Amino acid sequence: MGARRRRPAGRRVIPEPTTATASVSVPRRRCLPPTPCLFFSQFARIITFRCLPVLTRRVDSRYRYPALYFVFFAAFSGFAAFRNVLLEEMGMSGVEMGIVGMVMITAGVVVQPLWGFVADYTRSPARVLVVAATVSALSLLSYPLGASLPGDAFLLITAGTALFAVGRAPIVPLSNALVLREGFDYGYARSFGSTSFGIAVLVIGFLLAYTTTLLVVYLYIAGMAVFVALALTIPDDEESILEGGLGTQAIGLLARRQFQVVLVAAFLLGFVSRSGDAFFSVYMRAVGLGDGYTGAAWALKTVAETVVFLAVGRTALSYGSLVSVGGLGFAAGYAGLTLFPTLGSVLLANVGLGVGLALLFFALVNLAHDCAPDGLHSTAQTLLTSVGVGAGGALGHIVAGWLVDAVGVQSMFAYLAAASVLLALVGVAVHAVADARHPTTA
């Protein structure tokens, strides 16, 4: 009997059809192209059953909260820096860009306290973050839709921006409340946001030289998908106990003199910072420096923010002193943009702006947290960013847009420098009133 031939490993032997099987016709499966519904359902399954368990196991509280800032600011950086460039490419005037910016901030001002009330009432700020991030991402689809329309897309863009602002409004203040609720160093956690903002805007600034400005919209939507996955891993607040009604406690918070002074400083911060940020990319094009250097300037600014956020908690300066120094940082930065529109001066000016922003936010966010009673911290943070920073930014956008058309974008920064000096003077009032209970930041 001859040696039996061995079948090579890994080869599959298909038997010849017999008489019984040859007559049976086996239908072939058709390979259909995936529909949009099937695509998004598969994407949701991947996020739910693959990404979310990994995040739950591997991202503990030491990294989860800094990651919230890192992801959000990286996603938002391109839209924040180049929104008006995108609107300018759509044919909008300076006044129209100012109206869009004002609508964006005004919508946030109106809804932010409501988001805070819901978060405190349900004691689930993380679930509020999930809903808010989803709304903000979907609403930005109005920008590519408006860019594809043959006519004027001003009304569509304005409506989409308003809805975007409604969703984006609570993301940062509720993240602040979560970080401070868990006893984390706010400056350390927030430094991750500054770092990611600087890196992302630098990369995006160079990419825009080779691709469409709508890239900033698509990157934001992708970033919010990651943000939602992170927020779903945050537990609810089961320890805070609010004594009395939520509305009564909120009114009492607004009646406190310490909190009122903090809101005034936050209003001026929003006025000088939001309007300056909105028109900085327009300024860079006006002085002939371009989008690539815009990204570099934003990156240097956020490096300065990061360094200050990491170091300010170890200083012995009072919150009022931090507000005054921060206001002077803005004044010096805007004066430099007005007087010396060269690359070196612009980069140096952005260092001053980054230092000022970090000092002011560190002082005001911590003061708002300290002024709020237990169980009302989310509301306090949303009031700070809506009644304070948001309302000031809304007024700043419309005033800055009018000044751009009246005196030019370069001269507009001179008026912002004067407003920054007023902010520095408000720091004296913060020191006299709000620092009475909190003499140092150490």
Q: What is the DSSP string of 345-366?
A: HHHHHHHHHHHHHHHHHHHHHH
Token output for 73:
């600011």
| 38 is a domain residue | no
| 165 is a domain residue | yes
| 360 is a domain residue | yes
Pick the more confident residue, 42 or 432: 432
Residues 145-203 have pLDDT tens digits of: 888 887 778 899 999 999 999 999 899 999 998 888 888 888 888 899 888 987 888 88
pLDDT at 27 exceeding the cut of 70:
no
Residue 57: pLDDT band (50, 70, 90) is: very low
Residue 76: pLDDT band (50, 70, 90) is: very high
Residue range(s) defining the domain that contains residue 418: 59-238+246-436
- Give the DSSP H or E segment for 241: none
In this prediction, residues 124-138 reach a mean pLDDT of: 92
Token output for 183:
């006893």
| 304 is a domain residue | yes
Residue 74: pLDDT band (50, 70, 90) is: very high
Q: Rounded to whole angstroms, how far apart are CA atoms 226 and 210?
A: 26
Among positive and negative, which fits the CA dihedral 327, 355, 221, 290?
positive
| 296 is a domain residue | yes
Residues 367-400 have pLDDT tens digits of: 988 888 777 788 888 889 888 888 888 888 889 8
pLDDT of residue 60: 56
CA atoms within 13 A on the CB side of 180: 25
Question: Looking at the 3D structure of the chain, how many domains does it have?
Answer: 1
Could you give the C-alpha distances from 191 to 93, 186, 334, 360, in angstroms and in order? 35, 8, 23, 14
Residues 201-240 have pLDDT tens digits of: 888 888 888 888 899 999 999 999 999 999 998 877 655 5
| 122 is a domain residue | yes
List of residues 6+ apart from 258 with CB closer than 8 A: 367, 371, 433, 434, 436, 437
The DSSP letter of residue 434 is: G
Q: Taking the C-alpha atoms of 189, 323, 173 and 358 in order, what is their torsion angle to the nearest 10 degrees?
A: -40
List of residues 6+ apart from 108 with CB closer than 8 A: 165, 166, 168, 169, 385, 386, 390
**Closest Cα partner for 359 from 295, 403, 423, 402?**
423
Pick the more confident residue, 19 or 389: 389
In this prediction, residues 416-429 reach a mean pLDDT of: 92
| 411 is a domain residue | yes
Pick the more confident residue, 48 or 124: 124
pLDDT of residue 1: 45
Residues 257-311 have pLDDT tens digits of: 888 899 999 999 999 998 898 888 888 888 888 777 887 888 888 889 889 998 8
Token output for 87:
């609107």
Could you give the C-alpha distances from 167 to 131, 200, 207, 228, in angstroms and in order? 8, 22, 27, 13
Residue type, 27: P
| 210 is a domain residue | yes
Question: Any idea what the CATH number is for the domain that residue 377 is in?
Answer: 1.20.1250.20
pLDDT of residue 216: 92
Residue 434: pLDDT band (50, 70, 90) is: low
pLDDT of residue 238: 59
Q: Rounded to whole angstroms, how far apart are CA atoms 274 and 399?
A: 11
When the pLDDT of each residue in the chain is averaged and rounded to a whole number, the result is 80
Please report where in the chains the tokens 């109206």 appear, as a residue: 99
